[in-house]
Amino acid sequence: MAGKTIGTMITMFIFVVFLLFMITYSMHNKNELQVDEINFNIVESVSTNGVFSTQIYNDLIYAVSRYGDYTIKIKLKEQISPGLYDIHYDTNYILDKKLKVGDKISVYLEDRNLSLFGRLMNASTFGIIGTDNLIDSRVKSIKTNTISKNGK
């Protein structure tokens, strides 16, 4: 009788943990898709306008802040001649600069914190694996596009 009770308790525990993994993974995946879509829309807007304005950058910060605490890195590859690029990472240099056709803009977003799914995955190892092999399941997105219209 005690064996059946313990077996039932273990089965219920495994079922609840599995359910938690499923729910938190779906939340993690939804956030990942939303952030990726925001990033795509921003890069597409910059590509077709030819200017990465301060307003667009502020909209990006506001939009992704609803999903977590994100690091935003911008890379601009200015085309000097076909196949030769000058690379800039300074946000102050890139913002409100009139871009030319052929320049490439990249926006990289990374959540500074693990999602609930990531924390649950790392907690589920119970110290068996060690701290060097933890799973990095932060939400990340990178989008690159070529400027298709000269900035005004």
* 107 vs 141: CA distance, rounded Å: 8
* 118 vs 10: CA distance, rounded Å: 23
116-138 residue pLDDT tens: 888 887 776 555 655 666 677 88
Is the pLDDT confidence value at 147 over 80? yes
Q: What is the pTM of this model?
A: 0.83
Q: Please tell me what DSSP assigns to residue 112.
A: S
Predicted local distance difference test score (pLDDT) of residue 27: 92
